[in-house]
Amino acid sequence: MNAQQVFTIGQEGLLQLLMVSAPVLLTVLAVGLVVSIFQAATQISEATLSFVPKVVAAVAVMAFAGPWMLSMLVEYLQRTLQAIPSAVG
């Protein structure tokens, strides 16, 4: 296994991580922005007002996109494990 193969595997892993985590992160970011604008407009500084909607949004996205995320991770793991024999020998 040479350095190019190691970098390729690392790059694929990071890209997979970005693709799988993007829906949850972007949703939580958008909900946090909306909630913070609401808090700034109404001057309500309740901690649970910023926490609970983000958790609810994250759970909703996981329920909706969870099967896709899991299938992406399983496919990546299968490809990686099947590539081990050719990388070693």
Q: What is the pLDDT of residue 14?
A: 95
Residue 78 to residue 51: CA distance in whole angstroms: 36
What is the sign, positive or negative, of the torsion defined by CA atoms of 16, 17, 18, 20? positive
Q: What is the pLDDT of residue 86?
A: 82
List the chain pLDDT tens, one digit each, 89 residues: 788 888 988 899 999 999 999 999 999 999 999 999 999 999 888 888 889 999 999 999 999 999 999 999 999 999 989 988 887 76
And the tokens for 23? 């829906």
Q: What is the pLDDT of residue 2?
A: 80
Question: Residue 5, SS3?
Answer: helix
Q: What is the DSSP letter of 1?
A: -
And the tokens for 2? 């040479």
Residue 83 to residue 20: CA distance in whole angstroms: 21
